[in-house]
Chains A and B, each alone.
Chain A
Amino acid sequence: MLTCKETSQLISQAQERKLGLRERFSLRIHLWACSSCSHFEQQIKSLRSALKTHSTPNSLPDDKPLPGDAHERILNAIRNQTSE
């Protein structure tokens, strides 16, 4: 029987690679009996899906205004390059 520590590692790795038959089997058995690990699995998956929905170009963060002095500096750099 897997420990929770080993199970959590498999849950994580399942996000990165296809688990083997034996791994999947022992994982299912453990999850069937352990609510903490089942919740961990749900949390990891919902975190990934929430990040995915928030990562389209229009839902990325845009709440930090570019500081005014940086704006001006960049504007000058653009003008310099355009006039070259």
Chain B
Amino acid sequence: MTILDPEAWLDEHGSALYSFALLNVRDSHRAEDLVQETLLSALKAKDNFQESSSVRTWLIGILKHKIIDEFRQQSRDATPDDPDHALELAEAKNAEDNFNESGHWSLPITDWGDSEKEFTRDQFWKFIENCLASQSPKMSRLFILREIWGMETDEVCKEMGISPTNLWTTLHRARLGMRKCLEKKLHH
């Protein structure tokens, strides 16, 4: 019966839920609230828990539903005159800056080799988190859903209400930005 003890869930998985929420929403108060909402929903849906899956997987699944609701809201709220939009224009320019007028890379792209395999899990996530924080909220949302959660392209478009071309452009910019940011970290 301990497996379905919500107080134990908080002790055992509280920090994992909080860390994951923080990676996705960046705001510590919001992340705390998401952990609470997740555990209360889990408590209500206790009977749906499948013994065959792990408690952590189940809880992360519930948390993801909450995060995607939040992303949907943020994506709806983004209007042309808010700061997000200005940030997006700046990101477009950053992406352009990777190339010169003739369309060549401004700086040669070098081989990373296997250097990323040398990192521990905590270092890896710290880098990803830092680099995500330097992206616009929209780029970071789409990058998270597609690259971290591994959602399918059409699913991301449907959930976020954007066209595939919009997604491709944004993800491309996000990859250029993440690449550049991670490279700086690899070399220090």
B102 touches A3 (CB 8 A): yes
Interface: B111 (CB within 8 A)? yes
B39 touches A74 (CB 8 A): yes
B18 touches A16 (CB 8 A): no
Shortest CB distance A4–B (Å)? 5
Question: Inside 8 A of B103's CB, which chain A residues have their CB?
Answer: 3-6
B54 touches A73 (CB 8 A): no
B35 touches A70 (CB 8 A): yes
B18 touches A43 (CB 8 A): no
Q: Which of A46, A55, A58 contacts B150 (CB 8 A)?
A: A55
Chain A contact residues: over half helix, strand or loop, or mixed? helix
Counting chain A residues whose Cβ lies within 8 A of the other chain, the interface size class is 35 or more
CB closest chain-B residue, reference A80: B40
The total of interchain contacts (Cβ-Cβ below 8 angstroms) comes to 151
A63 touches B56 (CB 8 A): no
Given the known A-B contacts A40-B179, A61-B125, are A71 and B40 also in contact in the complex, defined by CB atoms under 8 Å?
A: no
A37 touches B40 (CB 8 A): no
Task: Give Cα distance in the complex from A65 to B175, angstroms.
Answer: 29
B36 touches A74 (CB 8 A): yes
A81 touches B22 (CB 8 A): no
Interface: B10 (CB within 8 A)? yes
Question: Inside 8 A of A82's CB, which chain B residues have their CB?
Answer: 6, 43
Shortest CB distance A7–B (Å)? 9
A63 touches B122 (CB 8 A): yes
Per-residue 0/1 for A36-62: is the Cβ within 8 Å of any B Cβ (1 yes, 0 no)? 110110111011101110110111111
Q: Which of B10, B60, B110, B148 contacts A71 (CB 8 A)?
A: B10
A51 touches B147 (CB 8 A): yes
Interface: B19 (CB within 8 A)? yes
CB closest chain-B residue, reference A12: B172
Residues of A within 8 A of B (CB): 3-6, 8-9, 12-13, 15-17, 35-37, 39-40, 42-44, 46-48, 50-52, 54-55, 57-67, 70-71, 73-75, 77-79, 81-82
Q: Supply 13 A–B pairs (Cβ within 8 Å), ascending by A.
A: A12-B175, A17-B153, A47-B179, A50-B117, A60-B60, A63-B19, A66-B17, A66-B32, A71-B10, A73-B32, A73-B36, A74-B10, A74-B35
